[in-house]
Amino acid sequence: MRALADLLCKNAFPALKKLCIPRNPGIKDVGVVALADALGKATQTSLTHLNLASVNMGDEGIAALAYLVCEGHLEQLKVLYLSDNHDVSEQGIITLAQAIGTDKLAMLEDFRMERLEPGKVTVLGVNAITHAIVSGCSQLKSI
């Protein structure tokens, strides 16, 4: 993941639209944080699809993605898949919800965050993310 992050930092893929690296459990938080850091440093980000499903991400990775959203680095994003990351807790969901609520993902059309670890997320987290999506993602077509 570090090699990909380094290339993204150097704008090696200025026209990159889709970054899909699902089902790579070795990525974990450290890889997502490195990726988010690289995307934040890239001078041009035109990502429309980001698939980080089943990468063993937890709250630290979610927080790094939330920071990218808040800073406006993912404003072109149309598809975001974060399903099957069982280490995400309710606090991670709330952190992501707060970022989505900033209206900086207004282009988002498809969002997936399914199959989280049972018992880690209560109705409070579900309500937070639902409210954020309804208020901040006016183009959403699929959840």
- CA–CA separation, 40 and 87 (whole Å): 23
pLDDT at res. 132: 92
Give the torsion sign (CA, 84, 62, 39, 71): positive
| CA dihedral for 58, 60, 63, 67, sign (positive or negative) | negative
The pLDDT tens digits for 87-115 are 999 999 999 999 999 989 999 999 999 98
Alpha-carbon distance values, 96 to 1, 12, 115, 132 (Å):
22, 28, 16, 9
Region 46-65: mean pLDDT is 97
CA distance linking residue 89 with residue 58, whole number of Å = 7
Burial of 9 (0-12, 13-18, 19+ CB in 10 A): middle
Residue range 48-53: mean pLDDT, rounded = 97
pTM reported for the whole predicted model = 0.93
